[in-house]
Amino acid sequence: MAYKIVEENCTGCCACEPECPNQAISETKNGLFIIEPAKCTECLGHYDEPQCVAVCPIDLTCIIDDDYPRYEAA
């Protein structure tokens, strides 16, 4: 499953954006961040854990998005 950023919890600190190996995280017009589900691979093949979760200073900001299937490597 892709991850998503809970907008209400995001502080706009930008810790996650440079850590994403797939450039799936981008800043919105209001200074917060979003994850593009089509690009999110849960960091599989890059890291042992999703880096957005690892670096986010606020718990429950980067969470699994149940609206998308798990990522499967080609």
At residue 74 the predicted structure's pLDDT band, cuts being 50, 70 and 90, is low
CATH of the domain at 74: 3.30.70.20
Round to whole Å and give the CA distance between 18 and 6. Answer: 18
Full residue range of the structural domain in which residue 67 is found: 1-74
Handedness of CA 27, 55, 20, 24 (dihedral sign): negative
Q: What is the pTM of this model?
A: 0.90
- The first and second tokens of residue 3, run together, are 């991850």
Side-chain-side CA neighbours of 29 within 13 Å: the count stands at 0
Q: Which of 21, 52, 14 is nearest to 39 (CA)?
A: 21
For 4-39, write each residue's pLDDT tens digit.
999 999 999 999 999 999 999 999 999 999 999 999
Q: What percent of the chain has pLDDT over 90?
A: 89
The SS3 call for residue 73 is coil
Task: Please tell me the total count of domains within the chain.
Answer: 1
